[in-house]
Amino acid sequence: MKLDATKMKDWEIAEASEENMKPFADLARNLGLEASELIPMGKRLGKVDYNQTMARIKARPRGKYIDVTAITPTPLGEGKTTTSMGLVQGLGKIGKRVVGAIRQPSGGPTFNIKGSAAGGGLAQCIPMTEFSLGLTGDIDAITNAHNLAMVALTARMQHEHNYDDARLAKSNLKRLDIDPERVEMKWIMDFCAQSLRNIRIGRGGKMDGFEMDSGFAITVSSEIMAILAVSKNLKDLRERMGKIVVAYDKKGKEVTTADLEVDGAMTAWMVNAVNPNLLQTIEGQPVFVHAGPFANIAIGQSSIMADQLATRLADYTVTESGFGAEIGFEKFWNLKCRFSGLEPNAVVLVATIRALKMHGGGPTVRPGIPLDETYTKENLGLLEKGCCNLISHIETIKKSGVMPVVCINSFYTDTKNEIAMVRKVAEANGALCALSEHWLKGGDGAVELAEAVVEACKEENKFKFLYELSTPLSKRIELITKVVYGGDGVTYTDEAKEKLDMYEADPQAGELGTCMVKTHLSLSHDPNLKGAPQGWQLPISDILVYKGAGFLVPVSGAIKLMPGTCSDPAFRRIDVDVDTAKVKGLF
């Protein structure tokens, strides 16, 4: 069947492609994996035993390592995952041994406004249904492990409230004296459920729990997801699991999962989840899918374990960071690479001409409203203004010491003059540039991009972090704000300033990385400010501690850890063909 991206929906292309998928065993064998290292989950996909495989291949030299990031997102879309899959396919077309390493999508966006994160057109990760709907259960495992910690915490609070010390001693429990006003964790679920952000639990009698304020966050914002992303192996994950701070006692001392004696049981939920999932592109190249996703409220990276496997199994590994370069790439640069010891050989910066026009002041884009002709007709003035956003992200990548490759993710409405303008801007600012038509043509359409990436990988990089771990937290936040976001400075609420002072006085906290929480819709904290806004300060409203993952989390503005479901969610169009049991309508 001939695949035509202009006439077929993404799920239809995926379904047609799946008829010719490589069997999981063949895909793994072609990658150089042994049968004993595979954990099949049906015929079409499975997991790779990380410990066993790494023990065999850890002495191998590492291949080239490429990160894919993007300009600041707009409702028009930039296509990072589509580009990642297109680049994997393009590298395959020019004869390179290549592996992709991307994040698992969250059920929240899949059933909400964004849809799946499998890519699009003729550049996708398949099988799309399994990829989009839970895969092999990693997110479920994280949900259960996290909520088990909340069960342990709330049960302990109930028993300590109802029992005296003698009664507690009979159960071999020591009073932790948890402060109900300083509970750091919430419950989690993998949907966008704004009505659960703030709730009251434990209502009823004394047998119904400890009554207090609580709430829900989305699963992918859980510290356990971050731990899965940054852990080096199961042993490392187990050690990190016991360091999670769930609350503070009434004297201000941390209460951890180890204090609750629940860290071992939490790890038991994660034993299978530590093994990366192996899928494929629609052209048959291998793709590891493991950990993720959101970079605006979490680390936004696929796992270090997947990257460690991929870089030893292939000559080129293509991974991806969430949202724009000031968020996703900044965390890849200063967190993921610091934890993994891997350094990128090139960074692909995805841009679309339509999105750059919006950053130049183009009309607001809303779902369900016809696209303004500004975005489909040549407008060099608007495009030139919007290129300030592209330049900002190029400069961010260059500050890491790595060669940026601007990918113009092509749309059929792009004109030659518009493409030429973006090329000129990219090259004038020290980046390579390539036009890519992977959405329309698959790997054949990404050959120019693949060749540009190969060329960039020949450059001698001088990779360096933005800050050292000895840098005080306040200085780190200021550096990220000024150097990466382009702001003038930082302000703190009283609560955030109190936490800042506490963490800066704690020698252990000084060794933690910095994982910023910020809107993805602007370089600033204000989603309405497009382009490269000037003359603003970043407001820090809170600072969370993720000691298990190994970082502090400054929260800017009023961003929520539980997104909301929109008025026209994707789930309205998803259904099942009852005759074939195939899911339709995913996008």
Q: What is the pLDDT of residue 396?
A: 98
Is 191 an annotated catalytic residue? no
Is 103 an annotated catalytic residue? yes
Query: Is residue 189 within 8 Å of 216, Cβ to Cβ?
Result: yes
Global pTM reads 0.95
Is 80 an annotated catalytic residue? yes
DSSP string for residues in 32-74: T--GGGEEESSSS-EEE-HHHHHHHHTTSPP-EEEEEEESS--
Q: What is the pLDDT of residue 117?
A: 79
Of residues 44, 93, 96, 103, which has the active-site annotation? 103
Is 210 an annotated catalytic residue? no
Of residues 53, 74, 81, 82, which has the active-site annotation? 82
User: Which among 183, 221, 214 is positioned nearest to 196, based on CA atoms?
Assistant: 214
Spatial CB neighbours of 506, under 8 Å, sequence gap ≥ 6: none
Q: What is the pLDDT of residue 344?
A: 98
The tokens of 306 are what? 């997947």
Note the CATH number of domain 473-556: 3.10.410.10
For residue 572, the 8-state DSSP code is G
**What single-letter amino acid sits at 233?**
N
Query: Is residue 466 within 8 Å of 479, Cβ to Cβ?
Result: yes
Question: What is the residue extent of each domain of the chain?
Answer: 10-134+273-349+438-456, 138-260, 473-556
Of residues 44, 64, 96, 114, which has the active-site annotation? 114
Of residues 80, 156, 331, 441, which has the active-site annotation? 80
pLDDT digits (tens, 9 = 90+) for 259-268: 999 999 999 9
Low-confidence ranges of the chain (pLDDT < 50): none
Of residues 70, 295, 346, 450, which has the active-site annotation? 295
Is 82 an annotated catalytic residue? yes
DSSP string for residues in 390-415: HHHHHHHHHHTT--EEEEEE--TT--
DSSP string for residues in 296-348: SSS--B--HHHHHHHHHH-SEEEEEEEEEIIIIIHHIIIIIHHHH----SEEE
Of residues 111, 216, 439, 536, which has the active-site annotation? 439
CB atoms closer than 10 angstroms to residue 302: 29
Q: What is the mean pLDDT of the chain?
A: 94
pLDDT digits (tens, 9 = 90+) for 8-26: 999 899 999 999 999 999 9
- Fold classification of 138-260 is Domain 2, N(10)-formyltetrahydrofolate synthetase (3.30.1510)
Note the CATH number of domain 10-134+273-349+438-456: 3.40.50.300
pLDDT digits (tens, 9 = 90+) for 493-528: 999 999 999 999 988 888 899 999 999 999 999 999
Is 187 an annotated catalytic residue? no
Element (H, E) at 583: strand 582-584
Of residues 187, 269, 294, 323, which has the active-site annotation? 323
Of residues 411, 413, 415, 482, which has the active-site annotation? 411
User: Which among 538, 543, 542, 506 is positioned nearest to 522, based on CA atoms?
Assistant: 538
